[in-house]
A and B are shown apart, each in its own frame.
Chain A
Amino acid sequence: MADDDEIILSELSDDELVLQMHDDLYDGLKEEIEEGVNILIARGWTPYDTLTKALVAGMTIVGADFRDGILFVPEVLLAANAMKAGMFILKPLLAETGAPRMGKMVIGTVKGDIHDIGKNLVAMMMEGAGFEVLDLGINNSVEKYLDALEKEQPDILGMSALLTTTMPYMKVVIDTMKEKGMREDYIVLVGGAPLNEEFSKAIGADAYCRDAAVAVETAKQYVARKHNQLNG
């Protein structure tokens, strides 16, 4: 509220600051998020705690409200932009401190399809959830996907299509992965407006993700399951 006293982030206690950062992420306030991240680090927070408790937790709220039809794409883009600014500060620090990784994803829109708004949202929300994301952009051939998988060794392959005319190409990619005996090495998540659960099963994907928030939740579940398998 405009007539309230201005908030001085550095004067807030840790708990209050983290809550304020959740609100500021929700409102897409980039500079405030940068300031908040810097304050927490200066107070001796680990980069990993700053990421998970302030940023990822804040983006989880954004994701839930996007899923529930309370927030829409413009607000989510602003929030993700603020998140990204915070991540930019944390990324080198996370690498230095050897913080645990959430997982890695290669994502792209399939060949012939030039839509990328939904795919970008997923990439941003995945980054918001702490995943490392390599975005291949639009119009990706099976060769481009496979090259990226071999080079990047991600946990997850994400494919997006917005057209009923391009969505069958996802099956081409999955079938090629099967032929090369590499299908089981990756979690394959698919999404896009005309898709549904049934389609995802029919083409042999691991899961269909209705929206970016669901993609994040699904990715977390599958990565956890994969890690359990490896350890078991």
Chain B
Amino acid sequence: MTKDALTGTNLFNMGLSSGEPPEFWNVDKPDNIRSLYRGAVEAGSDIFLTNTFGGNAARLKLHNAQGRVRELNRVGAALGREIADASGRTVVVAGSVGPTGEIFVPMGSLTHDLAVEIFHEQAEGLKDGGADVLWVETISAPEEYRAAAEAAARAGMPWCGTMSFDTAGRTMMGVTSAAMAEMVEKLPNPPIAFGANCGVGASDLMRTVLGFVAAGTARPIIAKGNAGIPKYHDGHIHYDGTPDLMAEYAVLARDAGVRIIGGCCGTMPEHLTAMRAAMESRPKGPRPTLEDISAKLGAFSSASDGTGEDVGPKRERRGRRG
């Protein structure tokens, strides 16, 4: 299965201005959103994500739109339903749910109950609009992942959830791939599939995937890597990952046992088409090693990702406090 491109990149190519929340376009420019979804479907995606990533109350509040959560998510999902149903094949409408952007107590102010409430409100909107599944993405904190799981249960929706491993192979909050795989199995309402999205380039993402595989999970794994690194050119942002590189990444992900393969930031329909074509034309190979990955996709951003025998350096402590 292949999955869609990141919504923001494509919308920006359609003229979304910096600072405007993309979710507003679900209502204000529905034809642009339809065309975005159609681009992913026509490039051969079996799953595409709705334009609702920032559609939770915590994020919309910053645009004074916290009262529009239900509406923006419902419409975003309904447009997706329309495109999927018109495609003539089975295409899954995944209701995109991004992080709240808040930090949990005790360091921040977000409580578990409040986070569940925020995600639940969004989930109900996506359900109303006809999303098939909740797709939780770019999570850093285990607390937030757990809250999303509970919200999915409350809404009675199946869900998938990926975290972003962007800091020395871990999430910003220090979660390793192994720790995530363990956490997922302990949830009362585990996702139907889990994995990694965004982060730092395709090599790191594949290393994270190998970490999930090494944890011995039987659950389907999701890989959704960025199309390279953002570059600034003439007032616009472009990602430097070529369709060929993304195709290579897709084949490696498949050979590693990943069931759901997609592109995150910077991924355009031409990347998705190249990924799909490569997976269909190239025979399945053995599971890649870390060496295969860095040879084909480039070097890793850090020497260790905190998993396996090499748990990374620790500081020598005076050790007199418990």
Which A residues are closer than 8 A to B by beta carbons? 1-2, 4, 7, 19-20, 23-24, 26-27, 29, 61, 65, 68-75, 77-78, 81, 111-117, 138-139, 163-169, 171, 193-196, 198-199, 202-203
Do B174 and A114 touch (CB < 8 A)?
Answer: no
Residues of B within 8 Å of A114, CB to CB, are 59, 62, 101
A23 near B232 (CB under 8 angstroms)? no
CA distance A164 to B12 in the complex (A): 10
Contacts of B236 in A (CB 8 A): 168
How long is the Cα–Cα vector from A68 to B168 in the complex, in angstroms?
8
Please give the distance in Å from A43's CB to the nearest CB on chain B: 20
B166, A193: Cβ atoms closer than 8 Å: yes
Interface size grouping (class) on chain B: 35 or more
A77 touches B304 (CB 8 A): no
Contacts of B319 in A (CB 8 A): 1
What's the A-B contact tally at a CB cutoff of 8 Å?
Answer: 120
- Contact between B8 and A69 (Cβ–Cβ < 8 Å)? no
Pick out which of these stretches binds chain A: B76-84, B249-257, B310-318. Answer: B310-318
For the complex, give the distance between the alpha carbons of A19 and B174 in Å.
Answer: 26
The answer to whether B318 touches A69, judged by C-beta atoms less than 8 angstroms apart, is: no
- Do A168 and B173 touch (CB < 8 A)? no
Tell me which residues across on chain B come within 8 A of A20, comparing CB atoms.
Answer: 318, 320
Instruction: Give chain A nearest CB distance to B39 CB in angstroms.
Output: 18
| Nearest-CB residue, chain A, relative to B265 | A164
The CA-CA distance from A29 to B167 in the complex, in Å, is 24
Kindly identify, within residues 215 to 230 of chain B, every residue whose CB is under 8 Å from any CB belonging to chain A: 229-230
Residues of A within 8 A of B9 (CB): 164
Contact (Cβ within 8 A) B232 A74? no
Contact residue among A23, A71, A194 (Cβ-Cβ distance under 8 Å from B265): A194
Chain B nearest CB from A195 CB (Å) reads 8
Cross-chain contact B18 with A73 (CB below 8 angstroms): no
Q: Which of B229, B319, B320 has the most CB of A within 10 A?
A: B320
- Closest A residue to B198 by CB, please name it: A193
Q: Which of B18, B103, B140, B229 has most A Cβ within 10 Å?
A: B18
| CB-contact partner of A70 in B16, B229, B313, under 8 A | B313
A168 to B314, CA, bound (A): 38
Bound: A24/B322 CA distance, A: 11
B101 touches A116 (CB 8 A): yes
B321: chain A residues within 8 A (beta carbon): 1, 4, 7, 23-24, 27, 29
Q: Return chain A residues, CB-CB under 8 Å to B8.
A: 163-165
B107 interface residue (CB < 8 Å to A) = yes
B101 in contact with A26 (CB, 8 Å): no
Residues of B contacting A165 in the complex (Cβ-Cβ under 8 angstroms): 8, 12, 16, 18-19, 22, 237
A61 touches B315 (CB 8 A): yes
